Structure 1
Amino acid sequence: MRKYGLDDDPVVLLNTAGFHDGLILQLRRMDELGLLPLPLGELVFVADTAAGALATVEKYVGTDG
């Protein structure tokens, strides 16, 4: 939905203990090769902690509910 501009809410990937390191590496490679519809930083935000993920969501969505 983000790539088509239908939703501005962030997509946050919680990478606890490096669980998604392989996926992140692949996404970065796809970004470098120009295979993503938007720059990676506009499609997915990566957080290493739950607090970091929540902070990203609150930054873009707010805390009003």
Structure 2
Amino acid sequence: MLKQFQTSCIIIVITITTTTITITTTITTTNTTTTTTTTIITTTTTTTTTSNFIVCRVERRERVATVHMRKRQI
């Protein structure tokens, strides 16, 4: 009996990119006391998450070795 093992693997890579943009704008104008407030905030955040998965499958195959014998006559 000959035993053979066959392994097949699949590598799955999942990449998730998340971008968050925050824009804050504040404008205050007062004419009587002359108060002017200007606030502009722009924030960009990028987050990258990478996950790796390896899925393997093992198959076992058995082969029967046959031996042929011949008879000789003398």
Select the structure that is richer in strand. Answer: 2
TM bin, normalised by shorter chain, reads: under 0.3
TM-score, length-scaled by structure 1? 0.19
Q: Which of the pair has more CA radius of gyration? A: 2
TM-score, length-scaled by structure 2? 0.17
